[in-house]
Amino acid sequence: MQNLLYRWLLLVGLGHAALGIALAFAAHLPITQPYFAYLYASVAATPPPAEFQTLLRTMVGLFGPTVASWGLLFSVLVFLYREHGHRQIKPAIFAALLVWCLLDSAISLYFGLLWHAYLNTAAVLSIALPLLALRPLKACR
């Protein structure tokens, strides 16, 4: 069971890295149009001017590398915890999850982006529950 939890957490981290890289390149592609239409509809009754749409897509594209780097750092921390059992790692990851999930969800709910809050809840549970149950291979001395 521990190997499954470990592999799942690595998959989540590396998946974030891959999706963040994809987001950086896909933000201006037509495939993302439904997502941006959802964003626009949540904050305005009419679609914004083309210049604003381009700016928003660029900002979302710039967010991709942040997501990717978070995924890589998370994967390294999970690896280090599993291999060496540094006791500071789990609380640090939980603190990062708490900061991200609470702030992102609050902002999302404020602007009526319910799907973001739902996605955040699913994401935080898919990370926090396996991480809570994960044990290191050996305790750090």
pLDDT of residue 136: 93
pLDDT value at residue 51: 86
With 0.75 as the threshold, say if the pTM is over it.
Answer: yes
At 98 the pLDDT is 96
Q: What share of the chain is helix, strand, coil (3-state, %, to 5)?
A: 80, 0, 20
Measure the CA–CA gap between 134 and 10, rounded to whole angstroms: 12
pLDDT along the chain (141 residues), means of 10: 95 95 92 86 79 86 93 96 92 96 94 90 95 87 59
Residue 83's pLDDT is 92
The tokens of 85 are what? 């059992």
What pLDDT is stored for residue 140 in this prediction? 63
The predicted structure's pLDDT at residue 39: 79
Which pLDDT value is given to residue 37?
85
